[in-house]
Structure 1
């Protein structure tokens, strides 16, 4: 389960000014501005940027050239964001901020991109600045609430969202997020916090220090091991982790007992079973590692990885298929209970009962194991990178593996039938 990231900000001026009132002797900036405007209106934003940068170099005090160049930077950033290239998108948004610092629009745009890059602290700084420049901007307040929520500052998140809902009660999906934050805050209000270099861990007061230390050791090890396994990817801190007992986990997430942990933008896991017994260190490690894999996959591919790949990687990198798992896989394939990879996607998997869902996890695990061992981790990393660009899952799979979903489904089935 993963939380939904915010949409890119696209509130750009519809048209650019077509002329600049400059002294008659300074014709070059006028010509450059007008040529840049023409390029902008054709949708050639890189060309517009190049021309308008030259115009600004000769007419630094022109507010029209500055606003035109700001809009060109923002439009190019928006195109890059649509292609899921948020690193370059945020670079152009920052350029827009630098050239027109009194404009709130690029600050909001940059804040949304930093959230997509999981750089929560910088997102907060940009969005707070946007509200200083333009108090009451609902997009800025909503995104700042999301940034505070990602930073686990639930009361500040609710304050931002409360304001937005007061102004626009029908804001899509916001009332549900507000209620979720309220529910979590009611459970976590007396939780303590413990920071490491990469993680910020919140925990209830009755968790012994030795257990907290063990959790931090597991997380720090996962940060290194999973990051290396998936091509040297190390998400920016702080990565939020919330620890619960079983009842608190149920109250905060409203998930069934068959769900052992979840990543919804934060790693959430109980440390006890429903009877109140502490989980074994091995089980805690499995759950935390599983959810941390989701953090890294999201960092590589955004929310574009198909369910079977996301969960298959999390299973494969957090535990090995044991004898019992191989037995269950043989039974599943021999009884025709396996599914096509295309079926292992929401909303179908979200509606599965616990037993069919358990089989889906097994099938995903076996599929990723085969891809990893037979074709190498490099192809899986390439697949995640293709997915990050917005390529549809099976098309990306064909590009990397030169075969269809059906072909690899037959390969996996052949191992267990």
Structure 2
């Protein structure tokens, strides 16, 4: 089950002051490089002109804000540092430089689609930038929120708690902060005594009772999933994925709003309830592959893939590990009754309260992926996800990748569907 954490980080900058007429009027007020060059000449020709010096500092600041909105962080940082060199005591300049660092950190943390950045590296760099931001403005509550998110994702729960609590003291009204702390409180009660297992590719934590009850080395299952899913998607994450193994009772405590029938969750971490006997280990392998697929899909798509198609990809991969791979009867019934749900509405099935609706959602999503793979080949899937990660809409990416309008794809899928059974 895919349940990404919803996190929104606003892009906020402050322009400071306006230029007075110490230079000839500009053809375009937004031409800050020209304004900066003219002001530099003014300062050089009038060494003691504090007004020109102040205006130059303001111009550097305002140009930095423009660059920030364009996400040109390195140049924005240089411009802000130059503004502070000219006016070291300007509190607004310090605040703005801290915001440049923070927004740069947001982007590094949130956008994993640039190939040269591995997640562990991005998190380290984002954490350094947060430190710089707080060094300039120790009351920047949103910086503590991001710091807590980074620590949480790396399973440093006590550090995450300290950061989020500091943010809450500074600004109790921050959206989503109370729910973060509530979730952390529930998880900490369960996970604080978990043991760790060393592994090259996963940060694996488990309750001792889980290991004793099953006797399974989950590392082998995870490594095989990494090989098999990685082969299909032509991608293996370079960072360690956090995997948490719970008893069934502990899983219920941390599950939050996930339904009773959920056999696993991926929310940035893979969470799996382990069976009480070896009889159910086959279903555990299927769950591991399903949730690991979510992790790969989330990384390749930048988290932009529709929920229903994400579940379809995970079900397609997990079906390879099922003893029987018969589609849910609900899909057969929907086909026979001519009640298949349009692709544009499949997402709503996962929000339904009826277990039958959810089962239909999983089965229909699985069938769509199976059709596209059988007709066109799986190699299209990572290409599709890459387009989506670059901001192309799902519908547009489908049409570009499969060279057909979505309505035609859907019509062809319906004709093919009886073969799925």
Q: TM-score, normalised by structure 2?
A: 0.78
- Alignment of 1:93 with 2:73, yes or no, is yes
- Alignment of 1:393 with 2:419, yes or no, is no
Deviation at 1:279, TM superposition (A): 6.0
CA distance in 2: counterparts of 1:95 and 1:212, whole angstroms:
55
**1:38 is matched with which residue?**
30
Q: Is the 8 A contact 1:97 1:107 kept in 2?
A: yes
- Higher relative contact order by CA 8 Å / sep ≥ 6: 1 or 2? 2
Q: Is the 8 A contact 1:242 1:267 kept in 2?
A: yes
Runs of at least 5 residues in structure 1 that lack an aligned partner in the other structure = 22-29, 41-47, 78-91
Instruction: Give SS of 2:209's match.
Output: coil
1:74 equivalent among 68, 80, 104 = 68
CA distance in 1: counterparts of 2:406 and 2:365, whole angstroms:
12
**2:287 is matched with which residue?**
287
Structure 1 range deviating more: 285-294 or 204-213: 204-213
CA distance in 2: counterparts of 1:37 and 1:250, whole angstroms:
59
Q: Aligned-pair RMSD on alpha carbons?
A: 3.5
Deviation at 1:340, TM superposition (A): 1.3
Runs of at least 5 residues in structure 2 that lack an aligned partner in the other structure = 44-52, 82-93, 113-118
Instruction: Give SS of 1:242's match.
Output: strand
Q: What are the within-5 Å matches in structure 2 for residues 344-383 of structure 1?
A: 344-346=346-348, 348-383=349-384
CA distance in 1: counterparts of 2:127 and 2:379, whole angstroms:
35
CA distance in 2: counterparts of 1:97 and 1:211, whole angstroms:
53
Note closer, same or farther for the CA distance 1:313–1:141 as it changes in structure 2 (3 Å cut). Answer: same
CA distance in 1: counterparts of 2:189 and 2:225, whole angstroms:
30
**1:27 is matched with which residue?**
none
Q: Is the 8 A contact 2:347 2:361 kept in 1?
A: no
Deviation at 1:309, TM superposition (A): 1.4
CA distance in 2: counterparts of 1:323 and 1:75, whole angstroms:
50
Q: Is the 8 A contact 1:8 1:113 kept in 2?
A: no
Q: What are the within-5 Å matches in structure 2 for residues 246-265 of structure 1?
A: 246-254=248-256, 255-265=258-268
**2:50 is matched with which residue?**
none
Instruction: Give SS of 1:193's match.
Output: strand
- Alignment of 1:115 with 2:116, yes or no, is no
Q: Is the 8 A contact 1:144 1:157 kept in 2?
A: yes
Give the number of aligned pairs: 379
Deviation at 1:251, TM superposition (A): 0.5
Instruction: Give SS of 2:344's match.
Output: helix
Deviation at 1:68, TM superposition (A): 5.1
Structure 1 range deviating more: 247-256 or 110-119: 110-119
Note closer, same or farther for the CA distance 1:224–1:72 as it changes in structure 2 (3 Å cut). Answer: farther
**2:180 is matched with which residue?**
177
CA distance in 2: counterparts of 1:193 and 1:318, whole angstroms:
26
- Structure exhibiting the larger radius of gyration computed from Cα positions: 2
Q: Where in structure 1 do 4 or more consecutive aligned residues deviate above 6 Å?
A: 34-37, 50-53, 209-213
Note closer, same or farther for the CA distance 1:212–1:140 as it changes in structure 2 (3 Å cut). Answer: farther
Deviation at 1:339, TM superposition (A): 1.2
Q: What are the within-5 Å matches in structure 2 for residues 226-305 of structure 1?
A: 226-232=229-235, 234-254=236-256, 255-272=258-275, 276-278=276-278, 280-305=280-305
